[in-house]
Structure 1
């Protein structure tokens, strides 16, 4: 069973491949990132947090929508790849990279966007509850939380994506703002406290 407290599993993955999940080449991943970005209810954010950033593919996209992105991972090699990508794409000045797991203390300060993409099913139920509590505490009132996870069971993961999203849905303080689901992945968008719809925010309804 894989735990976010055991970076050795991930270090082994990156020792065998610079991009072990094919984030940079698979249409599945490109499509998922496009849907994630399209689901964000705001055109721009002040400060985002993306734990488990891996090689920085989604991080670079987020940097174009945010003044500042704080992104972390448990594997130094992945962070080096992310740093190189951010430089190549001209957004390195907007991103702060750090070596940390989800169970380490979160970065100080508030965020108006928290992106939990393909990371929560590495946590036990107890650690997931703790992490979601931290997420709500770190999120500004009216801020956005996005959860995106693979739906097929993976035997070595402590939880399934389906179980994770059920727990997120039951978390106090979060209001669902949108969702997308297909046979492969589940995407949920929440806000801390109720906020107007996108149309209402622009005076269209």
Structure 2
């Protein structure tokens, strides 16, 4: 699941995207209803009745509470940013184990969308995040490092970041990602480059972030 998702605006612009007049934290909270790690499959399905199985062999099969499996959620205009968002949910032993929400089609420049997104994440998890860097397309000619807000609590690692369009694709829109994985997930750990960065390298990756974050500073 993680490999499929992870690797794969002035105020007037935000209004044009259809963002509801709600606080960022409220918009994100609505999307994350019942998505705490460990939540039983049936409870997630009850909170998100429009979910579909992510298994490509079950494209039209409606999920049922007693048959847990990976789920996909989709919003054409989500309550946080008013744009397209897809969530990929992974389950283990019938309980939510990991998930990724990805907002696509974020027009350039994405500053206002990123401000609202980061404000929602900080409101939910607090200002005590680690200033991380994530390797996208690792060990490839187009590898880049992007700044990531990273929280770790109760065995869960939470990531919030923006990925610009890859230089070799010709695309003009990037994507915002909010993800939660077990803290000991080796795939995610290998993609986080924070420990390997010098302070100068970290400062370069994070150079534009202070202007995009809410007033609180990282602890």
Structure having the higher helix fraction is 1
Q: TM-score, normalised by structure 2?
A: 0.26
